[in-house]
Chain A
């Protein structure tokens, strides 16, 4: 029996050296380690052998089994490695069929890696939405909450409550779409700015207030490359017991730096809006020329970004805030101007005519 084992061993070693792929190795394994292999038969038949012989044969047979298992494992590794190397050596574009037993796709390689991938439908947010989110996020990080309000407004909220009574010359700054109403009804309009929400927010909340209001506004204007009849604004309002002009400057300075970059210079100058006092215009140095003057900044080196100011005491009084106790600041900016400046868009009408060749660029 021991001779038999030695015979099996040498035959197996012989065959092992001539194996060329994993399939042959598998056949070898079945032959020498399988259920029907001679070795398995011998191991099963151990019980029928006399005790002395049984001990000797058992030891040799188990040793051989361990040897075969090790050999199989080692040969499997080296054959696999040989297959991988073959694959590496193959040129791009040639498909190789790997021997079975390798845990992978059957074939490797594609005809041409420059072939386009399988198309996936691609959606995007409108550039206005993207910029609104970006700007609102900055103010949210500064403690502001985002609220929205009606686009169809009473004259009162759009004008009167903001110190712009009928016949006020500042009405020239806001060309207005009026809404047809029954005679005798209060005048209704499409809001010309987001500022009416200053009033609405203060009417329904007690200080402290810190909100930003994005939304559509409308102007009764013939459209051209820089004028639209509908566009977006973002209004901001902060009211508290110790809100100062310096806070206004700091908040807007922070906003400008976060949106336009740390390297931009920020300028505050006096300007007039009926519902603030003092009034402010914030500008940044021109990103196209760096301040030396060019067409984008009409030679001034500065680009106006927004209007702002300290909330007018008459406005505070109108919403029953005591201007002796509370102060606040407000600001409003036209949204489309910002992507126009940042991305070099030269016509505001592109935004809401929704040409996909435009929208897909953002």
Chain B
């Protein structure tokens, strides 16, 4: 909403500088997002054209003599509309004007035009930077005082305001003036709307019927006859332009002007085109209308229309119909000022993608008390500007009239919410400045009548906000909550996520956060079961459904980064996947996933730049599990996302909690990943969580000496080394086993592999003798031989 300060001044005295004024408005809830100054003119004054003579050397030019409040100067003028008696902006030489062709600022020089010296120039709006108009000179109102600098007369600052949706009353100059009055302690001045009526009563000429009062609580109308449609006077056009509206003609301009002034949208019908001279406010049937913008609109029964005896003539509160539009030929105008159901207006305007100035106001809920006042103002102005006659009386159909009860407000309530006691008198004074009528009920209680335009105020809390914002939030105290702390509820999943993230960062992994929305095509590439929740209104197909796995985001991140990373990429994400559930919100499951590829260490002069392998990825997971106090098993898996032979299921407590493997080259290729090999892991944190919750228990540091022995065995290739290790660890005297060598090749028979373990013997309670250790070692070897067919390696 744009509000020129000069216009606001008609209703309230403004002594503040525009900056201070906008600060006050912003702080109290009406954000001023910009200040736009018009003016800054120098050497330009108001003048009156007192004589016109033809230019002796050019047919199209005239010599205009302009009175500048005593001094008279003659200038050469090319405008067709120059006329004696006009008040005009006159630029002396030296003035800066906008070149209408180039748009640049140029200084006006003394010069001869076709042989005649021109003492200055009468300016167009474009030359002054007021608007784009350049068909003729700008004509000022007749009362413009000659000789006054134009800056003093026309210079202005326009406030650009962001109006929150709860305050449709502020989509009006009077509404903003009311705020200014309350904020500055000044009185508000509402324009007089009295006018003289003539001729027949409107009742005999037109009728209004509301068929659907739920959608139209009130409909008022007046009628003007013998009107002459033409351009509006300059001052009116100026104001519309300053507020960002295009002047059309004196009838339409008045409806817009009064809407800007009062906040009530109005509509003017060419009365001659209203069939049967009846206005029927009803739901649309299966019909259509051509709107003012020339579009054919198909209407449906949930929409409200203004119809005449035959057909719809307007979409109520949204846009008028072309068939009843006011034109140059119009002589009789029916002015509509009505109140409509905000939800219905909003639905209709959304359906037609038609956000008009009218619908933007109606959808926010205007007061049903507003139409009459605005209608009187419009009728008065329109009759005056068009020279028309006003039919006697006003049609006012008001089925939706409601009594508004006053709100009870106690100073205790104010203190309870704001945390500070404010005296009743002060409360009454602040509310009074905003137009609320306060009546004292008891020493601490007020009965507050809400002014009709404040449709947003319904509760005592609303009044408290009014008090707080006018006093100023910054003037209220600043304290910390004093009450008891709520009972602490632990959140183990959150704690686990934090721990997991920190451990992985310590393992050299970079955290990423990727989009929850992905494409079905991407899901299909990386997971066998792509059943996912779909977005009904996706912006792009890349974001058409909710991910059911973290794989898409990680692999896309890898693909996007591998072009500029020449060492390694190690990424992880902890995030939710969204698993559809019948008739319910999806299950949002916390998952962890990671990818690794590239070299083990960054390239350096130290030399080690081998490629990462399966065991680097597994090492990260083992470190993670170790830190979480979980002992996982890795079992071969059949997950087709991974290359055969390089894939494992991660098992904790007998349950699969995740998977790890080398990304199948086919999958990598589909995901536009050129790095090989890529390792990916995925852990279901919900399944892992219980295993991490075991309470931590300290074990004493062993006091007795250790004995180290090696065991090197040859077993069949298909026997997992973990089985060998488990058997060794099964010996009660063994406290730790480390595999330090793994070999297949010429030194061992075909189909066999050699495994060498360092075994640490230690008892928590005594020093072991050599014989005990030998015996234990012998038992292990014979168990390995018996159960796994292992032979000792020589």
Give the total number of A-B pairs whose CB atoms are below 8 A apart.
251
Q: CA A124 – CA B507 in complex, angstroms?
A: 10
Identify the closest chain A residue to B507 (Cβ): A123
Question: Is B346 positioned at the interface, with any CB of A under 8 Å from its CB?
Answer: yes
Q: What's the minimum C-beta distance from B781 to chain A, rounded to whole angstroms?
A: 40
The residue that B419 contacts in the complex, of A222, A247, A279, with Cβ under 8 A, is: A247
Identify the closest chain A residue to B602 (Cβ): A119
B755 proximity list for chain A (CB < 8 A)? none
Q: What's the minimum C-beta distance from B489 to chain A, rounded to whole angstroms?
A: 7
Question: Is A17 positioned at the interface, with any CB of B under 8 Å from its CB?
Answer: no
CB pair B501–A125 under 8 Å, yes or no, is: yes
Q: Which of A2-10, A27-35, A50-58, A354-362 has 4 or more CB atoms under 8 Å from chain B?
A: A354-362
CB pair B508–A121 under 8 Å, yes or no, is: yes
Question: Is B604 positioned at the interface, with any CB of A under 8 Å from its CB?
Answer: yes
CB pair B485–A208 under 8 Å, yes or no, is: yes
CB pair A151–B588 under 8 Å, yes or no, is: yes
Identify the closest chain A residue to B416 (Cβ): A327
B201 proximity list for chain A (CB < 8 A)? none
A249 proximity list for chain B (CB < 8 A)? 473, 476-479
Question: Is B543 positioned at the interface, with any CB of A under 8 Å from its CB?
Answer: yes
The residue that B601 contacts in the complex, of A121, A208, A270, with Cβ under 8 A, is: A121
A129 proximity list for chain B (CB < 8 A)? 501, 511, 513
CB pair A152–B546 under 8 Å, yes or no, is: yes
CB pair A178–B537 under 8 Å, yes or no, is: yes
Q: What's the minimum C-beta distance from A338 to chain B, rounded to whole angstroms?
A: 15
B461 proximity list for chain A (CB < 8 A)? 277-278, 310, 312-313
Q: Which of A40-48, A71-79, A89-97, A142-150 has 4 or more CB atoms under 8 Å from chain B?
A: A142-150
B501 proximity list for chain A (CB < 8 A)? 125, 129
Identify the closest chain A residue to B607 (Cβ): A118
Q: Which of B26-34, B36-44, B267-275, B783-791 has 4 or more CB atoms under 8 Å from chain A?
A: B26-34
Q: What's the minimum C-beta distance from A224 to chain B, rounded to whole angstroms?
A: 12
Question: Is A180 positioned at the interface, with any CB of B under 8 Å from its CB?
Answer: yes
The residue that A269 contacts in the complex, of B26, B33, B417, B516, with Cβ under 8 A, is: B26
Q: Mark A341-358, 1 if CB is under 8 A from B, else 0.
A: 000000000011111110
Q: Which of A18-26, A61-69, A80-88, A169-177 has 4 or more CB atoms under 8 Å from chain B?
A: A169-177
Question: Is A179 positioned at the interface, with any CB of B under 8 Å from its CB?
Answer: yes
CB pair A246–B510 under 8 Å, yes or no, is: no
Interface residues of A in 263-285 (CB under 8 A from B): 267-272, 274, 277-280
Q: Which of B28, B473, B477, B565 has the most CB of A within 10 A?
A: B473
B507 proximity list for chain A (CB < 8 A)? 121, 123
Q: Mark B5-48, 1 if CB is under 8 A from A, else 0.
A: 00000000000000000000011110101000000000000000
CB pair A271–B418 under 8 Å, yes or no, is: no
CB pair A230–B517 under 8 Å, yes or no, is: yes
Question: Is B740 positioned at the interface, with any CB of A under 8 Å from its CB?
Answer: no
Question: Is B564 positioned at the interface, with any CB of A under 8 Å from its CB?
Answer: yes
The residue that A245 contacts in the complex, of B419, B474, B488, with Cβ under 8 A, is: B419
CB pair A172–B165 under 8 Å, yes or no, is: yes
CB pair B539–A222 under 8 Å, yes or no, is: yes
B561 proximity list for chain A (CB < 8 A)? 354-356
A353 proximity list for chain B (CB < 8 A)? 560
Q: CA A37 – CA B560 in complex, angstroms?
A: 77
Question: Is A322 positioned at the interface, with any CB of B under 8 Å from its CB?
Answer: no
Given known A-B contacts A143-B485, A208-B484, A151 and B343 have beta carbons under 8 A apart? no
Q: CA A345 – CA B436 in complex, angstroms?
A: 47
Question: Is A116 positioned at the interface, with any CB of B under 8 Å from its CB?
Answer: yes
The residue that A242 contacts in the complex, of B482, B494, B517, with Cβ under 8 A, is: B482
CB pair A180–B535 under 8 Å, yes or no, is: yes
A337 proximity list for chain B (CB < 8 A)? none
Question: Is B514 positioned at the interface, with any CB of A under 8 Å from its CB?
Answer: yes
B498 proximity list for chain A (CB < 8 A)? 133
Given known A-B contacts A121-B570, A123-B506, A182-B583, A220 and B473 have beta carbons under 8 A apart? no
CB pair B585–A152 under 8 Å, yes or no, is: yes
Question: Is B215 positioned at the interface, with any CB of A under 8 Å from its CB?
Answer: no
Q: CA A147 – CA B494 in complex, angstroms?
A: 8
CB pair B517–A244 under 8 Å, yes or no, is: no
CB pair A246–B418 under 8 Å, yes or no, is: yes
Q: Mark A158-169, 1 if CB is under 8 A from B, else 0.
A: 000000001111
CB pair A359–B510 under 8 Å, yes or no, is: yes
A177 proximity list for chain B (CB < 8 A)? 517, 535-538
Question: Is B85 positioned at the interface, with any CB of A under 8 Å from its CB?
Answer: no
Identify the closest chain B residue to A126 (Cβ): B511
Tally of contact residues, B, Cβ under 8 A: 92
Question: Is A188 positioned at the interface, with any CB of B under 8 Å from its CB?
Answer: yes
Interface residues of B in 522-573 (CB under 8 A from A): 533-539, 543, 546, 557, 560-561, 564-565, 568-571
A190 proximity list for chain B (CB < 8 A)? 516, 535
CB pair B539–A229 under 8 Å, yes or no, is: yes
Question: Is B724 positioned at the interface, with any CB of A under 8 Å from its CB?
Answer: no
CB pair B481–A247 under 8 Å, yes or no, is: yes
Q: Which of A126, A128, A207, A222 has the most CB of B within 10 A?
A: A126
Q: CA A355 – CA B469 in complex, angstroms?
A: 45
Question: Is B483 positioned at the interface, with any CB of A under 8 Å from its CB?
Answer: yes
Given known A-B contacts A151-B516, A178-B535, A312-B461, A167 and B347 have beta carbons under 8 A apart? yes
CB pair B583–A240 under 8 Å, yes or no, is: no
Question: Is B84 positioned at the interface, with any CB of A under 8 Å from its CB?
Answer: no
Q: What's the minimum C-beta distance from A321 to chain B, rounded to whole angstroms?
A: 14
Q: CA A150 – CA B491 in complex, angstroms?
A: 15
Question: Is A193 positioned at the interface, with any CB of B under 8 Å from its CB?
Answer: no
Q: What's the minimum C-beta distance from B58 to chain A, rounded to whole angstroms?
A: 48
Q: CA A220 – CA B540 in complex, angstroms?
A: 11
CB pair A277–B465 under 8 Å, yes or no, is: yes
CB pair B505–A352 under 8 Å, yes or no, is: no
CB pair B585–A153 under 8 Å, yes or no, is: yes
Q: CA A249 – CA B419 in complex, angstroms?
A: 10
CB pair B491–A313 under 8 Å, yes or no, is: no
Question: Is B166 positioned at the interface, with any CB of A under 8 Å from its CB?
Answer: yes
Q: What's the minimum C-beta distance from B671 to chain A, rounded to whole angstroms?
A: 15
Given known A-B contacts A153-B585, A354-B514, A170 and B165 have beta carbons under 8 A apart? yes
Q: What's the minimum C-beta distance from B625 to chain A, rounded to whole angstroms?
A: 17
CB pair A278–B533 under 8 Å, yes or no, is: no
Given known A-B contacts A115-B605, A247-B479, A270 and B27 have beta carbons under 8 A apart? yes
Known: A230-B516, A270-B473. 19 other contacts (CB 8 A): A118-B601, A121-B570, A150-B588, A166-B343, A167-B344, A169-B363, A170-B165, A179-B534, A238-B481, A242-B483, A243-B481, A246-B478, A247-B419, A247-B480, A268-B474, A277-B461, A279-B29, A356-B564, A356-B569
Contact sample, A vs B, 19 pairs, CB 8 Å cutoff: A115-B605, A116-B604, A119-B606, A120-B601, A125-B501, A128-B513, A152-B533, A167-B346, A169-B342, A180-B533, A243-B481, A245-B468, A268-B474, A270-B27, A271-B31, A351-B513, A352-B513, A356-B564, A356-B565
The 8 closest A-B pairs by CB, nearest first: A121-B508, A244-B419, A246-B419, A270-B29, A278-B465, A167-B343, A272-B164, A270-B469
